[in-house]
Every structure is written in structure tokens, then in C-alpha cells.
Amino acid sequence: MGLFLLSYSHAHTAFASIWFWLLLVLFFHNCRETLSDSTYLIGLGSYDITGPAADVNMMGYANAEQIASGIHFRLQARSFIVAEPGGNRVVFVNLDACMASQLVTIKVIERLKSRYGGIYNEQNVVISGIHTHAGPGGYLQYIVYIVTSLGFVRQSFDVIVDGIEKSIVQAHENLRPGNIFVNKGELLDAGANRSPSAYLNNPASERNQYKYDVDKEMTLLKFVDDEYGPVGSFNWFATHGTSMSRTNSLISGDNKGAAARFMEDWAGQKGFPKGINSIYHDAFGVGSKLKRRVSSIIPQPHENLNELQQLASSFQASGGRRLASSLSVGQRVRSGQGSKPKFVSAFCQSNCGDVSPNVLGTFCIDTGLPCDFNHSTCNGKNELCYGRGPGYPDEFESTRIIGERQFIKAMDLFNTASEQVKGKVEYRHTYLDFSQLEVNLPSSGGGQEVVKTCPAAMGFSFAAGTTDGPGAFDFKQGDDEGNLFWKLVRNLLKTPTKEQIECQKPKPILLDTGDMKQPYDWAPSILPIQIIQIGQVVILCVPGEFTTMAGRRLRDAVQTLLTSGGTGEFGSNIHMVIAGLSNTYSQYVTTFEEYQIQRYEGASTLYGPHTLSAYIQEFKKLASALVSGQNVQPGPQPPDLLDKQISLLPGVVVDTTPIGVKFGDVSADVPENSTFKPGDMVTATFWSACPRNDLLTDGTFALVEILDGSNTWFPAYDDDDLCLRFKWSRPSKLSSRSYATIEWRIPETVISGIYRLRHFGASKSLFGSIKHFTGTSHAFVVL
């Protein structure tokens, strides 16, 4: 018996030992799977970059009369960082701004190097603009881009640099193990070619390879944190940020900014990231009108209308009152939750050069007839030809619709993304002098010929503008001759040399900006080009607006190089996207054939007819270095012109109110005992002060508050909501008095209850001190 027990004991010990080792193997196997599942470290971040909402010219249309006077919704810098554990990393920043700026890029890189050493630099950081034409200007360093803003606007510049840095810091601090998925699909109704006559000049054999005359494909990256689940997405799709017109004066992220707002709100409603308390009330389905959210802590109110009206009438307009500081400015509806990540969604720009969101076509505003096909004129005048968006004649509705269409496609791609991104993280970057770049082209005899790019110059058709925003005077698109009068005017500034005229042919030169150096450079000559690789995803970062066919040629050339040669790293499964308006701005890039037609895009292709060939040649060099693991020379450094900047925009002198009136007092109130329903507009006007005194960054000038219980107010909508507009005005141009009007278009999905409007602002005394204030309207009922 003892022997049996001893034998059993030994057997049991051996059996237990076997199980122990099996469990250990399984444990390490599962650990290895977990580790291998987390392909990268990923981090996302975003920060407010809304610039001065008063007095500053907007960037994009070059319309001197388009001066900011309020906010449609706020602008953001959105960033992602992808890193190989212990290896390379890349940063991509998407700006709700017209374009990237060389000076902004220089100063952001300086700050990152100061903060983090060398891990973030011009080699692995991309800054790209969405191309909204409704953001404050004055933040670029070259004269031609800041003429209409009366020179450099330090406030516009600083808020963008600060916001980019803070968004990258957030992304860096959020770096955690996770995965990336890629997906792509067609979006058919968010862009139309605005220069079809130029597109048709491309070879028929090339055009026949494509179903459409604009790119319809959206490519999306989905970021999934190991712990928190989905934490964001970035996508690239080509359509101009010109749903908002050249007469709009409210700061807006246009259709791409709207799409990002919709996507981030949708994610909050879906509970992304996991474990983050939702501040959202309603979920909405594809194809329905976008539902807005309010704080979910608000209970449904009592249904007795009389009781609601009686309670609302007890809350009169508060009258203006001083706040201790900007820190007292009201609670935002969307707020971060400590160290936990927030969902970040960016709708990035691509080769949008000839792509308009005004998809209904171009029409003459005097007759309603279609515009001339070749010149986009009406009875010979370009000023009368405008593109129509899907919400015509309401530009806000067009912005919402084009934004919603991009959002719905992105949501679909996000939900169905299954292809995991795997592979190394790499990047290549160089600077090139595009004013004198030698380009090797195949000659008709079968050999090679060497051509050159030219110093920058803008053609006559540049001044004609586009069907998204026509120019003035007697300019028209498709002008390859120019006229004597405007050539005489041009010569007062700079007469182009014979060599420059020959180099730029058939472009008739209106502004010879490349050789205009007083008081400093009018246009760039040194430009960055950059490739970043994240596994099978390759992003070509270009410093301008490529037309549809120009972008196709560049993508195809680089993809052919990367997938040939048998290196095995890139198979047929490669996702190639163009990130437009990146790192600096140099206007347009057309194909050689489109350039011959000299529509707006060709006239704005600064470096002559061989500009695209130069880009293709140099990007192929970068791609070759990427594949072979070779370094590239940094190239000539672009100038830092910050110390040379001139600003002619006057500062705020003083803010005043009439005797007996305080800042924040109501000037025109919501009527007493008012009851509204969804779809109605609620309006109140307050005595205010210039928004340039304090941008209220990451705060709000306008708030809709909802009553919880009998005495507690919570924020429901702020000036980052498309349904709430903040409008600022002066009674006369030089007046020291001003008004803030808050307009709330009540959403269909609003919660019934008692609401009021609140305004925040900051006033400047004659001695320069800044004091913050607030005020509220009468309360009112919404059913």
C-alpha cells in the first residue's frame, strides 16, 4: 500500500509538473500573441487653433473684404504619432487651416526639438492643411500670401504654432500599444472637376484609364488602442474647402472640419474610446440627418408646459458681470478626461487642385444659365460665374451636406476596416530649390533631354479666380496671352526677363513673384518633399495643390518604383495617398498638358510647365532611398523670415459701452415667456468687446445652457457646434463699441427643457488691461 501511495505521489507530482509546463508554455504563447498583436505604439491628440474672430482677413480667396467677424465652429489641430517599439516614429498633423506654412513648420520643429531632443524633426513630422477658406490669415511668411491680411498677423501665427505643439504633446503622452487598420472606398458625390476643359487636354489614352475626372477614393486609417479600443481615424480624400463662399465672415473648418466634428461626436455616442464616460445623448444612423448631442446628465423635464413656462420666466437676463480670469470662462461641452485618450478624427486633404465641393455645376448668377465651358465666364465676365453646392443657395447647408457625405463614408470604412497595417515605419525628406531644378525627360528621339523649372511666377488667369470664388476686373480663365494694360501695371512692380517669359510659356506672367525680393521674398523657391511609410501605407507629402491627373501620375510613378525590383517589401498590396498642402505652400501643380490651357490652376503652377515632372523625378529619388535604406541629403534650408515680417493691422485700442451699460448686458433679448420647437432660431445680442482681446482658446464665446432641476445650469451646445453661431459686429468701422449675436438653430434631436443663451468675452481698457465678462439671456422653453 505504501509503495502504491509513493508511486501515486510520484505520478501525481509528475502529472502536476507536466500541467505546470503546459500552462507556462500557453501563458508565454498568449503573451507573445498579445505582444505581436500590438504592432505599433500609437498616440493621438487635438487642440484648438481658432484664431482671431474679428478684423483679420481670411486666407484662401484673397478677397480683401472677407474679414472675420465670428465663428461658425472652431478649428483644430489633430495629430497622430505611430512608432515602432524601440524604432522609428512619424508624426502627422492635420490642420483646420487653409494650408501649412513654412514659418509655422520651422517654429513647431524648433519647439519639438527643445522639448524632446531629436526624436521629432523635419524628417519625420508632417503638417498638412485641410484647405478651408474660412480661417484667419496672416500666418505665412511670403508676401504674396499675406497682402490681403495687411501683412503678418502674429495672433493667427501663434495660436496655430501653440495648437500644433499641444496636439503633438497630447499624442506623445498618449503613446500606447495598439494597432492600425486601413480601408478604402469610393465616395461619388462630394467633388466635381472645376476645370474640365484643362483635364480634357490630357491624353485620351490616359483619361480612358479612369472612370471619373476627379479621384473618388477615400483612404482611412483606423487606430485601435489595446486597452481603450478605437481611439481615432485619419482619412484622405480630395475636395476643396470651398463650400463656404468668398463672402462668408464666420470662422469655419468648412466641409472637412464639419466631417471631423460629426465623426468625433458619433464616436462619443458610440462610447469610443472604451471606459470614457460619454457626454453624448443620441445615436444616429447612416442616411439620417445628423443628430446633435447634449449632456446626458440632463433628465427629461416635466411635460407640463405651464410649469415649464413659469419656471423659465423666473430666470431673467443676468446682466453683464465680470469674471476673475479667462479660467472662469464657461465649461466646454466637449472636455477631456484627464490622462485618458479622446477620440480624434481628421479629414485630410489630398490632390484637390481641380476638385470643387460645389457639385451641382457652375451657373451665371445673372441669368441662371451654365457658364462658358472654356473660360468660366458669363457674357465675358468671370465675376458672374459661381459653382453651386448641394445646399444652394445656403452655403452653411452645403458645408453640412458635403461634410456629412465624407463623414458617412468614413464611418462605413471605419466600421468595416479589417486589413491590419504591418511593417516598418520609415520616412525620407529633403528640400529642393524649385526655381532652377534640372529635370530629365524622355525626348522624341528616344533619348533624354534636360529641361528646367523656373523662378516662381503667376499668370493672368490667377487673377480670374475659380468658379468657387471668382476674381475681379476683366481677367478670365484660359488666358494664354494677357493684355497690355495689366502688363504695364505688372512692370511697375517687376518686369520679367526674356528668359523667364520663355521658361514660363505659354503662361503670360502677371506677377513675377520669384524675383520679387523687396522688402523680403514674395514667394518660396525652396520647398520640402517628404515620404512617410507605415507598413503598407505610403503617404506622399506635397507642398501644394496637385490636380487630379497630376496626383495620379505622381502616385503611379512612386508606386511603380516601390513595387518593382523584387525587394519583397512592397507587394501589390500598397496603399498610396497624397497629403496635400503639407509643410509649406507653393500653390498649384498641373500636368504639362493642363498647363497649356492656362486656367486658374495652370496659371498658379508657379515653377513652369515642367513642375510636375520635377516632383515625380525627385519623389522617385526619395522612394528609391526608402527602399534601399539609404539616407538623402537635407538640401538647401528654407529661410526663416519671422524677423522681417511687417504687420499693418492695427491693434485693439479700447472697448467701450454706453453709460450705464455693462459688458455682457443684453442688447436684444429672447422674448419673455418664449416657447420654441426644433428647427426654430433663437437669437440674443449682447454688448460685447473685440474677440482679439482673448481668443478664448479651448473655451467658447457662446453657450446654450439647459436647466437641470430648479437652479442648476449645464452646457448643452457651444461655439464648436454647427447649430450655434457666434457673430460679432461694430455699429461702425471705427467704433469702440461692439455687439455679439448668438444664433441657435434648434436641432431636431434636442431634449425638451428650459434653456438660455450665454456670452463670454474680454474687454480692453484704455490703459491696456484685459477683463473677462459674461452675460445671459432670458430663459425660454424648448419642446
Integer Cα distance of 780 and 673 in angstroms: 6
* Alpha carbon 196 to chain centroid, angstroms: 26
Residue among 379, 384, 375 nearest 476 (CA): 375
User: Within a 13 Å sphere around the CA of 338, how many CA atoms are in the beta-carbon half?
Assistant: 5
281 is known to lie in a ligand binding site: no
Integer Cα distance of 701 and 693 in angstroms: 12
Q: Torsions phi, psi of 554, nearest 5?
A: -65, -50
Maximum alpha-carbon separation in the chain: 120
Integer Cα distance of 271 and 292 in angstroms: 15
Residue among 267, 327, 290 nearest 44 (CA): 267
Q: What totals of helices (H) and strands (E) does the chain contain, helices first?
A: 14, 39
Cell 440632463, residue?
298
Residues 6+ apart with CB under 8 A from 266: 284, 407, 411
Integer Cα distance of 604 and 601 in angstroms: 5
Return the H-helix or E-strand segment holding 218: strand 217-225
The beta strand positions in 645-701, using DSSP E, are 666-668, 675-676, 681-688
429 is known to lie in a ligand binding site: no
Buried b (16+ CB within 10 A) or exposed e, 304-316: eeeebbebbbebe
- The letter for the amino acid at 97 is A
Residues 6+ apart with CB under 8 A from 744: 681, 682, 683, 704, 717, 723, 724, 725, 757
Integer Cα distance of 29 and 269 in angstroms: 36
Integer Cα distance of 699 and 328 in angstroms: 10
Q: 703 and 330 in contact (C-beta within 8 Å)?
A: yes
Integer Cα distance of 149 and 151 in angstroms: 5
Q: Say which of 233, 243, 245, 356 is annotated catalytic.
A: 356
Integer Cα distance of 92 and 84 in angstroms: 15
For residue 42, list its beta bridge partners.
Answer: 82, 176
545 is known to lie in a ligand binding site: yes
Integer Cα distance of 762 and 690 in angstroms: 7
Instruction: Please provide the size of the chain in residues.
Output: 783
Residue among 72, 495, 368 nearest 245 (CA): 72
Let me know if 564 is a catalytic residue: no
Residues 6+ apart with CB under 8 A from 86: none
The angle, 0 to 180 degrees and rounded to 10, between the axes of the packed helices 254-270 and 395-416 is: 50
What SS3 string covers 102-161? HHHHHHHHHHHHHHHCCCCCCCCEEEEECCECCEECCCCCCHHHCCCCCECCHHHHHHHH
Integer Cα distance of 714 and 704 in angstroms: 9
Residue among 378, 373, 403 nearest 390 (CA): 403
Residue among 750, 745, 772 nearest 761 (CA): 772
Q: 736 and 656 in contact (C-beta within 8 Å)?
A: yes
Integer Cα distance of 539 and 553 in angstroms: 15
Cell 459653382, residue?
387
240 is known to lie in a ligand binding site: yes
Q: 376 and 467 in contact (C-beta within 8 Å)?
A: yes
Catalytic residues: 356
Binding-site sequence positions: 131, 240, 545, 588
Binding-site sequence positions for Zn(2+): 131, 240, 545, 588
